[in-house]
């Protein structure tokens, strides 16, 4: 009988430890996703500033893009504003300043890092055990940010 109690205690302890470490990992993934989102916003803002300063007729579009924060509720608006900036870059032709090309490359990298962080977080958050134990807490499920022009300067 004591062996059954001991086995039950070990099993319960193992489940509690798994839940604790999974919640910690999920917390770190959310922090990583938030950091990647902030880095993506900084890269998008930097590109918008450079495009507004260096390309004619792009000032208004870059200001509009900068005014839209990169929040989950405004992803579509920001993507549309970024698309407008990309179209202005394409209209300029192939003789782009190096700083704009560098900024566009940084946007692509930040976009890729952000979507990878979202993918990792969503993969863990959508597991049945994690959802049923509510290990994600009250944090919103992160969303992918789709840039409409990822192959802009190829």
Q: How far apart are CA 129 and CA 142, in angstroms?
A: 19
Are residues 124 and 62 in contact, defined by beta-carbon separation less than 8 angstroms? Answer: no
- pLDDT averaged over 10-residue windows placed end to end, the chain, 154 residues: 94 97 97 98 95 87 92 92 88 83 93 97 96 92 81 52
Task: State the DSSP code for 74.
Answer: G
Taking the domains of the chain in order of start, what are their residue ranges? 31-154
Q: How far apart are CA 69 and CA 97, in angstroms?
A: 26
pLDDT at residue 58 in the model: 84
pLDDT at residue 102 in the model: 92
Q: Which candidate, 4, 102, 95, 116, places its Cα nearest to that of 47?
A: 102
pLDDT at residue 92 in the model: 79
């Amino acid at each position: 009988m004591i062996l059954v109690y001991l086995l039950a205690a070990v099993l319960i302890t193992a489940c509690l430890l798994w839940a604790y470490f999974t919640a910690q990992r999920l917390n770190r993934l959310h922090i990583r996703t938030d950091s990647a989102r902030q880095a993506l916003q900084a890269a998008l803002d930097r590109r918008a500033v450079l495009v507004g300063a260096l390309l004619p007729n792009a000032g208004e579009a870059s200001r509009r893009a900068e005014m839209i924060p990169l929040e989950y509720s405004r992803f579509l608006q920001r993507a549309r504003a970024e698309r407008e900036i990309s179209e202005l870059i394409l209209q300029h032709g192939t003789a782009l300043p190096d700083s704009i090309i560098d900024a566009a490359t940084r946007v692509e990298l930040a976009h890729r890092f952000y979507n990878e962080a979202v993918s990792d977080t969503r993969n863990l958050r959508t597991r049945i055990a994690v959802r049923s134990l509510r290990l994600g807490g009250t944090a919103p499920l992160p969303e992918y940010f789709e840039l409409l022009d990822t192959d802009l300067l190829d």
